[in-house]
Structure 1
Amino acid sequence: MGSWGAFERDLLQQMPLILAGLLNTLELAVVISITGFLLGIFVFFLTLSKNNLVRNSINAYISFFIGMPLIVLLFLMYYGLPQWGIRLNPFTVAVIGFTLNVAAYNAAYLKTAFNGLDTSQIEAATAQGFKPSQIFRLITLPQVLRTSVPALTNQVIGNLKDSSITFLIQYTEFFARMQELASTNFQFFKAYLVTALVYLLLVSVIVLVARSIENRLFIRAS
């Protein structure tokens, strides 16, 4: 292996590009976590529909996107759609693909939490004349969100880590920039070690924030 001094010199030289890539990674991770969360709530709401067609269609959606490898979905959109005259930039493809995938997982987490709820509150609210949307917004959703914090946190962490595959659709995120660094000096171990440490740091921040949120929710619920 070459000296760390030479690697550090190359690292500093490419630091502007690397930081730009890191910013792209964070931007994508934040966007898909928010859009996937919001769409996941909507999908979860539809799983509670009394209409069999709606409920079965949504369950099929969840099964489809959980079962499809994310990279296949991204490739289908980025490399496949142009054959039909539809061309999307890498960021748009990543956001749409990740959002559809993440929403399915989040809806599944929320549904699992819902199955563990005490239904007496919902039955009492229904007897008092609450509309289904009011029951969902005031009773169901707050409780399932509180219970699902660990699972949703893991999903956000997964979003951050999985964003690294978007370099395969030409999105210049952090991992892509570190790949470029490694290819210029062939010090792959050092480049990937630094990459791993950066991801570990970011994941640690997410975990700390999630624990803070979970503690606040626990205190409020007590």
Structure 2
Amino acid sequence: MPDWLQLMLTSFWPLLRAGLVFTVPLAILSFVLGLGVGLLTAVVRLFAPKPLAAVAGFYVWIIRGTPLLVQLFVIFYGLPSAGILIDAFPAALIGFTLNVGAYSSEVIRAALTSISRGQWEAAYSIGMTTRQALRRTILPQATRVAVPPLGNTFISLVKDTSLAAAITVPELFQQAQRIVAVTYEPLILYIEAALIYLIFSSILTTLQARLEVRFGRHGGFMERAR
């Protein structure tokens, strides 16, 4: 067996384990929390008084206008100078959550504004309040619009978690770096790490496609195609 293949087989489980133990949970937690932040931010920007909407807009502007890596460095390396110490994994979780929240808020805001005014009027006509109309009528329809871009956001997030290696989170990419430091085979190990990320992304892309069909994004087209 070639040495490079032996190395890949030996390192595959440590890399996959790091991905399953750190990369995937970090991505899922960040996405779920970020989605909550994004929904709240979108609602505030659309329906809250102007001062609150301005604060939410400022948050989105800051996060979308600065690199994610810089945000992680500010949280993990910068805040300790102000007396705020945060461990690596929580720091990464905060950074990714804030980043996902800003980007998903724009997706959700666009999805909400895509629903016609007639839907609001129909909800009001049967006695719903704004909150009830939003929860029972508008959000279910907006979800169909938001699923594809939010799915893409999650897939991108899984790959972006590799940036957590820069703040010492022992996820997939940092595990590859540790093995490289011992074996001095960066090409083989980084290619293997890339392949594992590709596997994760391919699985998620398949799940996203099924989710879109379930939400009826392509149902009509598929029926006509038959």
How many residue pairs were aligned?
Answer: 219
In structure 2, C-alpha distance between the alignment counterparts of 1:131 and 1:116, rounded to whole Å: 20
Instruction: Note if contact 2:64-2:103 (Cα within 8 Å) is conserved in structure 1.
Output: yes
In structure 1, C-alpha distance between the alignment counterparts of 2:65 and 2:217, rounded to whole Å: 37
Aligned to 1:68: 66
Instruction: Note if contact 1:45-1:136 (Cα within 8 Å) is conserved in structure 2.
Output: no
In structure 2, C-alpha distance between the alignment counterparts of 1:55 and 1:146, rounded to whole Å: 25
In structure 1, C-alpha distance between the alignment counterparts of 2:216 and 2:167, rounded to whole Å: 41
TM-score after normalising by structure 2 = 0.89
In structure 1, C-alpha distance between the alignment counterparts of 2:197 and 2:30, rounded to whole Å: 17
* Mapped pair 1:32 → 2:30: yes
* Mapped pair 1:99 → 2:100: no
TM-superposed CA distance for 1:200, in Å, is 1.0
Of 204, 207, 210, the residue aligned with 2:208 is 210
Of 10, 13, 18, the residue aligned with 1:21 is 18
TM-score after normalising by structure 1 = 0.90
**For residue 144 of structure 1, what is the amino acid of its counterpart?**
A
Aligned to 2:149: 151
**For residue 130 of structure 2, what is the amino acid of its counterpart?**
P
TM-superposed CA distance for 1:14, in Å, is 4.3
Q: Cα RMSD over matched residues?
A: 2.0
TM-superposed CA distance for 1:5, in Å, is 2.6
* Mapped pair 1:175 → 2:173: yes
In structure 2, C-alpha distance between the alignment counterparts of 1:50 and 1:42, rounded to whole Å: 10
**For residue 10 of structure 1, what is the amino acid of its counterpart?**
L
Give unmatched runs, 5+ long, in structure 1: none
Aligned to 1:124: 122
Instruction: Note if contact 1:161-1:199 (Cα within 8 Å) is conserved in structure 2.
Output: yes
Give unmatched runs, 5+ long, in structure 2: 221-226
Identity score, percent: 30
TM-superposed CA distance for 1:186, in Å, is 2.6
Cα deviation digits, residues 184-207 of structure 1 (max 9, x gap): 233222212211111111111111
Structure 1: 4+ residue segments shifted above 6 A: 219-222
TM-superposed CA distance for 1:127, in Å, is 3.8
